Structure 1
């Protein structure tokens, strides 16, 4: 047991720190995951840019290589050996020496303006002379008189090459075309020299879409359609996707080679690119998963912390309630002991001087007055816990102004001035009249206790056309009862708690239940109570009550004739209470049959057909009074029924009963009125509860 307690204490101390740690860690993980995902996306963008840079770098390198070829040929084209008429043998010797110095030249050719081959270096005597293959680039050369790069071609012998042509210009006229036939391997070497990553692939296409060179071995495809090497899917935006002939999917960036119509393509495996995306999603997913896990842990810890706090608050509230209950019990015990003292002294006085009729009468009056005070005290205590509005009726507060003024005068001291103003045009409200009296007495008493040096208390009522203008919790017409004073006021930090049960600032002498009763009355009357205060300027409590919607009951001009039963069955499981009720009925000349339980009462009713009314206690062990009334009214509809109770939780909660209820201790007049109403209500199912004087 001790270990468990210490374990809970240690865990209770760790929970707040753990919550604080989780609240700090979770955002960090989320931010880290988002940052990781963002950096992965940036890395993907950087990879695309790297491919584009590689393509541009390769295109520039190839353009420079081709430009170098053009410059060498241009220098050679200016040789006097090419002056017409052409001395082929002399030029052949010069061309052969130069070709040996430029290994990328497979052969050199001179063509005339019509495209006929005039000279080939080196000359292969075993091969027959063939016509010019790439006539388009030759025609362009002659028309524009500018260097031209031809398309890659496959010659009659199967060899693949592309021409670099420059014009031989004499006297501002192109007389020959000088061509260097170059193997594609030269371009492939340039492609590799630009630092192409091993996992990437690069290839070059000419203006006709033929494959000029590739970074991977593809000799059989060079000179043919490039789509046999790689297919680029149609895409508006760069980069675009494609696939190699092997089926491997790739991501492609391109760049053009200046003044050639060639295109450099750089690609990387799409799987490598997707690895980055997958890594980014994995980082983000891991961050989300960890965050959700930690959020779940934080939620669990938070709920446990809340539950722990609720238990602590409940324990504290319970302790406070017990402390306040102890104060309340002490106060009630003090008041009841005073009442018991009246009875004890009275009984002893009557026993000593039983022959002194005047003295006995005086003592009896004192005892009856004590009974009234005790009954009022219990009713005030019960009003604190009452949750129903069963005692409410439609009333005009202005009709109670004078009696209420007299009650409130008793709650103030001589040094406090009291003002009560209830205008005659106040609207009717549905409220417990005695609850209003108790609430106003509590408010005036609080004001008087706050003004130790005297002051002024005002109790005013007024009509409000729409309660929502003053208090948003309500709507429609109603009345406002304002109790204000010019005392020291309430501290601002205490204002939100003034209506809490057992909350008090008066020290150990107060119970903290007075304002709770005020709040309870307003709440069960579908109203509201508000408080405002300015320190050193006073306080104001306003009770808002909605206007009654039902018809206002008319005041009876003549009392109804009293009808009393001739024979009554009294049911009560408390012998003393049963005896008192029997004596009270017998004093009225009524024949009485008594029993101590509901089952016995049902049996007696079957045997005594002359019983006219049942007077039953509410709280009984076998069959309660409310249940008994329902059974009797079904079996014996001609019988009257009256309930008597000191306290009934069911009735206090608002349970509807169809018979009159008289509250213990009751006077002879209250008993006669209840019996009369019980008799007149016979046969009228659904009769309302009779509200008796308390």
Structure 2
């Protein structure tokens, strides 16, 4: 403990504060001064503070001294008078008493602050849990309810809610049970826990969960019943919906048993096939919905399919009189076409294919995916879907949005290894934007929220970086979120992540909103056939020998004279030597000179020479600057013939 000496009254006044244990002053130092400032300071002390003052007075001053002491007591409040001369032990005793008194005040302050902190913590917990508090006096049946408790019964903060009002709001079929449970709790002092139906003032039905505990008086009798309540309508509706679905499923199974009995063997095979398909689906989910496949792999696969489809197309023409061969060729072509469709999806997933942007009903899209999503997350994870009605469509590619949603749900499942809840929401944002870089306008926000382990701030900042992953080796590629981010940018939207470590993650996909008008389906026009092009001299350029050979065979079968080059450099030499070449069909991705560089170089030799770009990519790399006619790989002989006819008309 240290002491500070003030030689003047203003200096003494400035030194006063909450940290001062006590103040010592001589009465003659106070008399000539205006005591109003120090009186105002005394009055302005916090509620816990009452600073002790030790006033040193002269002995034997008569009646005037008593009046001065009374005045100082009125001004200073908490005063110890010590007559001079005095023994040192007397002063020490007075100082210790003042110090002890002051430290008790500090303890009172600490307890008050602790009480405020506990009260704030309790309020925060109640708010986070959406709980309302209540208290019931069993003697008067007087109910004290918080605003949160009133909201559980459809009342506002300004509304009064008595115990009779509460009972009247309980569903008639549950009212007697509520009364009986309250009386039982008061009689036995057991904890109070009950769920019952309520009817709000607007007539809407709801569910409430109410918990309580008896507070005893000193005599041991119940003096109060206190507790919390919450609105569990959403949970009960979900349980009822699941129960109804289960009952419907059981009825359908019962009705179908007799019909399916005759095909039991087929059913066993289908179940086995379904289990294999589900196992394959689980494996694909571990790879984050084929996130490891890149556009380059798909492009190479397209080239292989090109060779297969081209040669099968020619075989079909040459074996037209062999029905069995035709069936085999057609089956192989169907498989190749499925493979081509798969590569197109992979290219779109890798953001290397043009998106098919159209008006998409996101609510219907999510509903159609419910069964797939439920199978994807397993039984330990619950999916809760909230989809408002009458939302405008989103301008998006439905296939890519489906892949993005599946990817986000799988990520949420992996973030909850011990199970949890995934909430899928959809809302319209007519004016709001997640950040200023997004153009102003109306958007739809598709959100996926989990209550898993979440991410810290550093991990959240890196989450959309390519190849960054928090999963174990072999359980993720780190491409899923970056692909969704790229998809959002392509669609002129945004991808927003928010997360708190230990509390979960929310992913939001913002997509531009379209008009509410129902879009008419486009009329399907017959495919343009056109007339075949007259025979011409064509140069085929492709570094893949299988592709080049297949294309050459199809062109020669169409009656054209064909030259072949397996690099851009070789093709440029042929163009410079042979002025009779009428068309160049070239791949884009080639070593040395790619298709774009070959076209630019050929313009210097033959400015009027037409080019047809045959490539597996729909979006060429930035800076290619090509606006040439294009033919997507894999293509058929008929497609090749039509494109040539368009160019050489």
Shorter-chain TM-score above 0.5 = no
Q: Which one has a bigger Cα radius of gyration?
A: 1
Q: TM-score, normalised by structure 1?
A: 0.38
